[in-house]
Structure 1
Amino acid sequence: MDRYDIQDCIGRGSYGDVFKGLDKSTGRMVAFKIIDLEEVEDDIDSIHKEITMLAGCHCSNITEYYASVLKPGATELVIVMELMACSVADLLGLGPLDEASIALVLHEVLCALAYLHGEHRIHRDVKAANILLGEQGDVKISDFGVSGQLSGTLGFRRRTFVGTPFWMAPEVIQSSDEGYSERADIWSLGITAIEMATGSPPHANLHPMRVLFLIPKDPPPQLHGHFSPDFKDFVS
């Protein structure tokens, strides 16, 4: 760990806090996800899958993985990753995005999802908080703590209940025998488009548990208001 200078906490990802700091061997600022393995003992397999997922990704629209280090004499695992400037969710704290900016973000996220789905993987937690922006305007998806490998024995479908309620596809919530596929990511991206356009996902004023009951039985959310027909059609 002498190689790294861990500095300020900048957020929280799945399974651990995220810090920024310096890789002294390269002079590069990086992000550190620090995970206490004692606190997440039951999820160690999921953490290993996240590391494997990140290490195996080679796409300019996915945050880059650098290394994993186990702190000497401690139970903390440090995942070293590319440092980004902020998330789309951070920008939404200032208000909804304009349609041109949303189109740019959606294009880049679709490129990332096309890569993942081509690798038979699902992200399973697409939302504004997991879409990161670089200082030069690059757009990347992050936080693969709930991502999954699409198993050929399941017909490229998953049956595990994971994700964040407001962005979940109906089939993920229902966890039916048929399971779900990469289409769950596309649903979540549509909800994220609404989130970027309005400042929050549908049902944001409701308790998450109530949302879990509403999403499977309600019609798919629509985008209303002053937006272009093409954008409304994209969301639909």
Structure 2
Amino acid sequence: MHSPIIPNKDPATQYSLGSRIGTGSFGLVYKGVHVETGRVVAIKQIDIENSQDEITEIAREIWRLADLRTDHVTRYYGSFVTGYKLWIIMEYLAGGSCLSLLKSGVIPEASIAIICREVLLGLDYLHGHCTIHRDIKAANILFSSTGDVKLADLGNATTVTSKARSFVGTPFWMAPEIIRQDGYDTKADIWSLGITAIEMATGEPPLSQYHPMRVLFLIPKAKPPALEGNFSASCKEFVSLCLKKDPTTRPSAKQLLKHPFFRKAGKTSSLMTLLSRHDAYRKRDQAPPYQEILPTQFSLGPDGKWKPAGGKVFS
């Protein structure tokens, strides 16, 4: 797919901006149409004037997106500045996110296997390029209208060749080693995938009854969460492998792709049943197309305090 042509003069006029469909790292995401080609796209708008502290991180996200060559991550088409807004033009995925699908009910094990396999393929690519996503969760797993599964929102991703120490992510899905800040690598994404598998199976991540700040203290001290209930032994084992407290004993994405849990996993087109279920739910409840406010994300500021994006500083 070729990138839309973005002229030097008034590039924003080349796009028709539609409804808001989500909230990503650093900005709001809208559905849009490239006027000349009629192509539907996703447009992330970032207020540069109010994001001076994050400009470097935003630039890094764009560089990462531009370098990606995989079908397992949302495609980047281009970016430009108009007024005080940075527009990032991305692939639009009409199926919405895994989080939006959970509104119509928990996700069956057979579908969880397909989704986790596709996420692992994306992670295997990113990890092979020394990139940690750092925000794997249902809200950042998107679907095309035909059931393709793609990772989204690399705003918190980082490229490392050694251990990272930055305190970044969303508390409920955050690996213990990130919270402890004792150095972490790509295995942190594997922990987050295990939490996401539980989220898909039960509708919520573990510890969701607690305030995010409380969760940051509980995760490093508590036993690893486990998937309980009417699920296969291979599904439960897969989750338990992802949630090994010691990251050195956690399998890599490549190793997990060989797990028996995926032996009978179907094609992504099988997820159309799941998408149809959610579409029927939206029509029955007259709910608007997926629009999400993502769970609070935190970063550790230079003053040593944890700060939710756009919110109050916690000591």
TM-score normalised to the size of structure 1?
Answer: 0.95
| 2:22 corresponds to | 11
CA-CA distance at 1:214 after TM superposition: 0.5
Query: Which structure 2 residues correspond to residues 45-124 of structure 1 after superposition, within 5 A?
Result: 45-71=56-82, 74-85=83-94, 86-124=96-134
Q: Which has the larger radius of gyration?
A: 2
Query: Which structure 2 residues correspond to residues 33-48 of structure 1 after superposition, within 5 A?
Result: 33-48=44-59
| 2:214 corresponds to | 210
CA-CA distance at 1:26 after TM superposition: 2.0
| 1:141 corresponds to | 151
| 2:297 corresponds to | none
1:175 aligns with 2:181: yes
CA-CA distance at 1:219 after TM superposition: 1.1
Amino acid across the alignment from 2:196: T
Higher relative contact order (CA 8 A, sep 6+): 2
RMSD: 0.7
1:220 aligns with 2:231: no
1:166 aligns with 2:175: no
CA-CA distance at 1:114 after TM superposition: 0.1
Runs of 4+ in 1 over 3 A off after TM superposition: none
Amino acid across the alignment from 2:180: Q
Output the CA distance in 2 between the equivalents of 1:157 and 1:106.
Answer: 25
CA-CA distance at 1:40 after TM superposition: 0.9
SS of 1:223's equivalent in the other structure is coil
Output the CA distance in 2 between the equivalents of 1:158 and 1:24.
Answer: 42
CA-CA distance at 1:11 after TM superposition: 1.1
| 2:197 corresponds to | 193
Output the CA distance in 2 between the equivalents of 1:20 and 1:157.
Answer: 37
1:233 aligns with 2:243: no
| 2:301 corresponds to | none
Output the CA distance in 1 between the equivalents of 2:167 and 2:16.
Answer: 37
| 1:25 corresponds to | 36
Output the CA distance in 1 between the equivalents of 2:187 and 2:36.
Answer: 42
Amino acid across the alignment from 1:163: G
SS of 1:9's equivalent in the other structure is strand
Output the CA distance in 1 between the equivalents of 2:38 and 2:49.
Answer: 32
Output the CA distance in 2 between the equivalents of 1:53 and 1:221.
Answer: 32
Sequence identity of aligned pairs in percent? 53
Report the count of equivalent residues: 228
Output the CA distance in 2 between the equivalents of 1:2 and 1:39.
Answer: 23
1:126 pairs, out of 115, 118, 136, with 136
TM-score normalised to the size of structure 2?
Answer: 0.72
CA-CA distance at 1:45 after TM superposition: 0.4
